[in-house]
Amino acid sequence: CTIHQPSARLFEKFDHLYMLAEGQCMYEGRVRGLVPFLSSLGYNCPSYHNPADYVLEVASGEYGESVQKLVAAVKNGECKKFSQKDYGLTDVRGIANDIVKGDSDCNNSNSTSSANNTTLTATTTLTLEDEKCKMDELSTSLLHANALTKPILETQQSQLSDCTVINLNIPNSTTDNGNSNSGLPYSCSFSSKGGQVALTGAAEKAAAAGCTTSLLDSHESVITLPNSSGFPTSGWTQFWILLKRSFVTIMRDRMLTHMRLASHVIVGAIIGMIYYDVGNEASKVMSNAGCIFFTTLFTMFTAMMPTILTFPTEMSVFVREHLNYWYSLKAFYFAKTMADLPFQIVFSSVYVIVVYYLTSQPMEWMRISMFVFICVLTSLVAQSLGLLIGAGMNIEAGVFLGPVTTIPTILFSGFFVNFDTIPGYLKWVTYVSYVRYGFEGAMVSIYGMDRAKLECHEMYCHFRSPKKFLEEMSMDNAEYWVDAVALLGTFVALRIVAYFVLRWKLHLIR
């Protein structure tokens, strides 16, 4: 098949490459031979760089007149050795036996033997220098290596940095004094940075160093073995780097950040002026309930709508970087969702405090804290719902589905229809409406906890007792902390579901 600019994960699965540039063949051979072939001609692919992207840069002329140089090399047969099926599989047994026998080509080699229970340790560093060395001298097919048992691959910390260790048993090895070391364990470490190969046997120190030869035409590894996670850094490091990048992105978009802050302040001032000084008036409790309900809706919509666009607008960049082994899905998701939390909390708190003060709600620290906390929780739940919609939908569908999903939650919030009036077969919907918990918790924080009687400047005020008003709203038995815990649980559940939806979508894209 033909393919253009594949990801690193897909690229490494190819068996044979035939690369064209300007209608001419610029490489033909195995995948693991591409980087050494380019390096032999002076084009060194950087570490952790997708070879497919790099070869496109070379073919596009970013490194000079490279196409004709590569085409000429192919015509001269310089890439034939990279077409061999066993390319990159080195006969480790032969190298190890030469080391153990104290091959005359190695300098400063030492061996230690003993009559009883003596093991031999040999270490050599093979510098990859000679660009014209042929792999045929030291590489062979595993089918002909009948003296070798099946290699057991494991990643471990080596004396050489960034090495992957291959442990294997090499039978019938012989030391200088003739002692046989049948089944002596050895390990071979291939460095992907320093261009070195280290062979190490187990037990006492008897190092052999200084043996130089040519294994590859580049400073790349003999066999590229990715670590268990597939990423060059840990998940924690990825998270912190992505979190910092997300913060920088938000701070650089000053227009949007200032607009969000200004909208919360301005709308809060407008609502405060409309419902000015109604918080302690017994004759205006219904107006105050409308103010509280609108406050809940405003914090909900301002949190949900921007986050619907979070994943659709960055999905293409994320997929490309993730498939190139830059970072994991978990690191990206948690960094992206955590970066906006402080801003959302601050903006919602500013709006709620402005409204609370202008509408003359009870100036008690406990009630203020409870009211701000429940409104912020409502905004965070709405933000989580926006992330869930954005993770599973494209921009058009998400912008449409976001407001539509809020209609049932608003209808069953307890403001338009009391809970006692809702039919029994629909009452269960009220328990899945997060707006219900936000509005109910806000009402309890204002009128609950045995608040004193309200002021009445009319001839008669039916709801002078706050408890009586809560009974009218079917909230007399409501508990504030039950509403808060319900919102917290919904927040966590939506975040988890959004992660798995994003993971499923990434799987479909792959």
At 75-96, the pLDDT tens digits run 888 877 776 655 555 444 444 4
Residue 503 predicted with pLDDT over 70: yes
Closest CA to 371 of 361, 360, 381, 382: 361
Indicate whether 185 and 73 sit together in one domain. Answer: no
Inter-residue contact 348 to 299 (CB < 8 Å): yes
Q: Mean pLDDT, to the nearest integer, of 323-336?
A: 89
The answer to whether position 224 is within a domain reads no
The answer to whether position 393 is within a domain reads yes
Final residue of a structural domain among 83, 110, 144:
83
Residue 182 predicted with pLDDT over 60: no
Final residue of a structural domain among 30, 60, 83:
83
pLDDT recorded at residue 294: 95
Q: Mean pLDDT, to the nearest integer, of 380-407?
A: 90
pLDDT recorded at residue 480: 93
User: Lowest mean pLDDT: which of 69-83, 360-374, 436-450?
Assistant: 69-83
Banded model confidence at residue 240, pLDDT cuts 50, 70, 90: very high
Residue 166 predicted with pLDDT over 90: no
Give 271-288 pLDDT, tens digit per residue: 999 999 898 888 899 999
Q: How far is CA 454 from the centre of its chain?
A: 53
The answer to whether position 100 is within a domain reads yes
Indicate whether 36 and 103 sit together in one domain. Answer: no
Residue 35 predicted with pLDDT over 50: yes
Final residue of a structural domain among 150, 175, 201:
201
Location of structure tokens 């070195």: 196
Indicate whether 72 and 98 sit together in one domain. Answer: no
pLDDT recorded at residue 187: 40
Beta strands 163-170 and 152-154 are antiparallel
The domain tally of the chain equals 3
Residue 217 predicted with pLDDT over 50: no
User: Lowest mean pLDDT: which of 61-70, 139-148, 448-457?
Assistant: 139-148
Indicate whether 39 and 110 sit together in one domain. Answer: no
Indicate whether 98 and 142 sit together in one domain. Answer: yes
User: Lowest mean pLDDT: which of 110-119, 241-250, 300-309, 362-371?
Assistant: 110-119
The answer to whether position 214 is within a domain reads no
Give 144-157 pLDDT, tens digit per residue: 333 333 333 333 33
Indicate whether 464 and 487 sit together in one domain. Answer: yes
pLDDT recorded at residue 163: 42
Banded model confidence at residue 23, pLDDT cuts 50, 70, 90: confident
What is the pTM assigned to this prediction?
A: 0.59
The answer to whether position 334 is within a domain reads no
pLDDT recorded at residue 150: 38
pLDDT recorded at residue 1: 58
Pick 75 or 494 by higher pLDDT.
494
The answer to whether position 206 is within a domain reads no
User: Lowest mean pLDDT: which of 171-175, 226-230, 411-415?
Assistant: 171-175
Residue 22 predicted with pLDDT over 60: yes
Indicate whether 414 and 472 sit together in one domain. Answer: yes
Banded model confidence at residue 2, pLDDT cuts 50, 70, 90: low
> Chain-wide mean pLDDT for the chain?
75
Q: Between the CA of residue 197 and those of 39, 124, 185, 222, what are the distances in Å?
A: 18, 8, 17, 8
Banded model confidence at residue 230, pLDDT cuts 50, 70, 90: low
Distance CA(509)–CA(359), nearest Å, equals: 51
Indicate whether 412 and 488 sit together in one domain. Answer: yes
The answer to whether position 220 is within a domain reads no
Banded model confidence at residue 345, pLDDT cuts 50, 70, 90: very high
User: Lowest mean pLDDT: which of 90-94, 96-100, 197-201?
Assistant: 197-201
Return phi, psi of residue 361, to 5°.
-75, 165
Q: Residues near 16 by Cβ (< 8 Å), separated by ≥ 6?
A: 28, 29, 30, 83
User: Lowest mean pLDDT: which of 8-12, 29-33, 362-366, 457-461?
Assistant: 8-12
Banded model confidence at residue 199, pLDDT cuts 50, 70, 90: very low
Distance CA(16)–CA(61), nearest Å, equals: 24
Indicate whether 476 and 406 sit together in one domain. Answer: yes
pLDDT recorded at residue 4: 67
Banded model confidence at residue 403, pLDDT cuts 50, 70, 90: confident
DSSP 3-state assignment of 27? strand
Provide, rounded to the nearest whole percent, the portion of the chain with pLDDT above 70. 70
b/e 367-400 (16+ beta carbons within 10 angstroms → b): bbebbbbbbbbbbbbbbbbbbbbbbbbeeeebbe
pLDDT recorded at residue 123: 33
Q: Mean pLDDT, to the nearest integer, of 367-384?
A: 95
For 105, the domain range is 92-201
End-to-end CA distance of the chain: 17
Banded model confidence at residue 497, pLDDT cuts 50, 70, 90: very high
pLDDT recorded at residue 368: 94
Distance CA(297)–CA(191), nearest Å, equals: 58
The answer to whether position 250 is within a domain reads no
Residue 133 predicted with pLDDT over 50: no
pLDDT recorded at residue 126: 34
Distance CA(285)–CA(292), nearest Å, equals: 10
Indicate whether 48 and 119 sit together in one domain. Answer: no
Indicate whether 369 and 443 sit together in one domain. Answer: yes
Indicate whether 382 and 285 sit together in one domain. Answer: yes
